């Protein structure tokens, strides 16, 4: 079982993930329409690129936009959650050992202590984000079962990973396989679900940045004050 989930299934998961996000990028860009979107993308590409980069950059910086500054608590939650979610698995020692073994390359690693803290941070911020959905009427009204499912898909690898690493669940092998499976499910879910915001965040921000950069003022001022 371990051989299967770290072997063929891992191949499948990574293939679906990488091909999937490339397809999403291509489909997104092909679906842009200068007249329907009312943005002259091509004739003013320079302004468009400037607007796109600004639009992505400011939103990647904690408190970099007026919205991030307005919702301070949410901003901390979102950044802690996402930084942990993306970087912990990439730089985790255990993962890189397997990478090296199976595919002959690896990334620099973070200490196990750091990884542990980041995992706890993901789990805690994740639960607060879920509580927020229940506690605040303006978020509750938006929340659907699908949102909770997506949340579970994203959280599962961290919870199972944490349990396995600390040998909390009794059967180490069971939790390890569950952890690997849940990670692969998440990777494969990215292109097909709302988790596609992994890449579509950048596409969408790029588009709106181009909109403001080209049409809505970017050619007459320094750029939108995100």
Partner 1 sequence: MPEGILCNKIPCKTKEMLNALLSDKSGKQYYNEMNHLQINTEALAATIKKTLKSRMKTWLEICAHCGMCADSCFLYLANNKDPKQVPSYKIQSTLGEIVRRKGDVDNAFMQMCMDTAWSKCTCCNRCGSFCPFGIDMGVMFGYLRGLCFSQGFVPWELKIGSGMHRIFHAQMDVTTEDWVETCEWMAEEYEEDWPGLKIPVDVQNADIMYTVNAREPKHYPEDLAEAAILFHIAGENWTVPSEGWEETSLAMFAGDWEACKIQVNTVYDAMRRLKPKRMVVTECGHAYRATVIEGPYWAGLKDGKTPVPSFHYVEWVAEALRTGKLKIDPSKKIKEPVTYQDSCNYIRNAGLADCAREIMSYIAEDFREMTPCREHNFCCGGGGGFNGLGRYREQRNIGLKIKRDQILATEAKLVIAPCHNCWDAIRDLEEIFKVGIRWSFLKPLLLKMVVVPEHLKPPEE
Distance CA 25, CA 15 (A): 15
Q: How far is the CB of 36 from partner 1 (least distance, A)?
A: 6
Instruction: Return the residue of 10, 110, 115, 214 that touches partner 1, per CB under 8 A.
Output: 214
Q: Does 220 interact with partner 1 (rule: CB under 8 A)?
A: yes
Residue pair 192/20 in contact (Cβ under 8 Å)? The answer is: yes
Question: In angstroms, what CA-CA distances link 92 with 59, 160, 209?
Answer: 26, 15, 34
Contact 211, 47 (CB under 8 A): no
**CB 39, min distance to partner 1, A:** 7
138 binding partner 1? (CB under 8 A)? yes
Query: Cα separation of 128 and 143, whole Å?
Result: 14
Residue 105 near partner 1 by CB under 8 A: no
Q: Which stretch binds partner 1 (CB under 8 A): 4-12, 106-114, 172-180, 204-212?
A: 204-212
Q: Give the whole-angstrom CA distance, residue 139 versus residue 143.
A: 6
Contact flag: residue 226 with partner 1 (CB under 8 A): yes
CB-based contacts of 83, cutoff 8 Å, min separation 6: 118
Stretch that binds partner 1, among 1-9, 24-32, 89-97, 174-182 (CB under 8 A): 24-32
Q: Residue written as tokens 């390890």?
A: 176
How far, rounded to the nearest angstrom, does the alpha carbon of residue 149 sit from its chain's CA centroid?
Answer: 15
Q: To the nearest whole angstrom, how small is the minimum distance from the Cβ of residue 181 to partner 1?
A: 25
> Taking contact as CB under 8 A, which single stretch among the options 96-104, 114-122, 137-145, 173-181 is the one that binds partner 1?
137-145
Which CB sits closer to partner 1, 68 or 165?
A: 68
Nearer to partner 1, 44 or 95 (CB): 44
Residue 192 in the binding site for partner 1 (CB under 8 A): no
Alpha carbon of 208 to those of 46, 51, 69, 78, 216: distances in Å?
15, 8, 20, 21, 10
Residue with tokens 């092998």: 173
Which residue of 14, 147, 169, 172 would you call a contact of partner 1, by CB under 8 A?
147
Binding site for partner 1 (CB under 8 A): 27-40, 43-44, 55, 59, 66-68, 70-71, 74, 78, 133, 136-144, 147, 194, 196-197, 200-201, 203-205, 207-209, 211-212, 214-218, 220-221, 224-226
């Amino acid at each position: 079982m371990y051989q299967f989930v770290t072997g063929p299934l891992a191949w499948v998961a990574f293939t679906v993930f990488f091909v999937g996000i490339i397809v999403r990028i291509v489909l997104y860009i092909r679906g842009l329409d200068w007249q329907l979107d009312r943005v002259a993308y091509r004739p003013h590409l320079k302004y468009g690129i400037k607007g796109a980069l600004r639009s992505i950059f400011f939103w990647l910086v904690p408190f970099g936009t007026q919205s991030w500054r307005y919702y301070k608590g949410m901003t901390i939650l979102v950044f802690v959650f996402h930084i942990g979610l993306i970087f912990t698995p990439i730089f985790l020692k255990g993962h890189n050992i397997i990478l090296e073994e199976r595919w002959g390359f690896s990334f620099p690693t973070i200490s196990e202590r750091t990884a542990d803290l980041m995992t706890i941070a993901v789990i805690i911020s994740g639960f607060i984000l879920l509580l927020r959905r229940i506690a605040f009427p303006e978020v509750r009204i938006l929340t659907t079962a699908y949102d909770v499912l997506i949340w579970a898909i994203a959280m599962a690898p961290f919870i199972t990973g944490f349990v396995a690493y600390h040998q909390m669940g009794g059967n180490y092998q069971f939790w390890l396989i569950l952890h690997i499976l849940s990670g692969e499910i998440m990777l494969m879910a990215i292109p097909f679900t709302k988790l596609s915001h992994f890449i579509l965040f950048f596409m969408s921000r790029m588009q709106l940045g181009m909109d403001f950069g080209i049409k809505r003022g970017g050619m007459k001022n320094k750029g939108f004050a995100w």
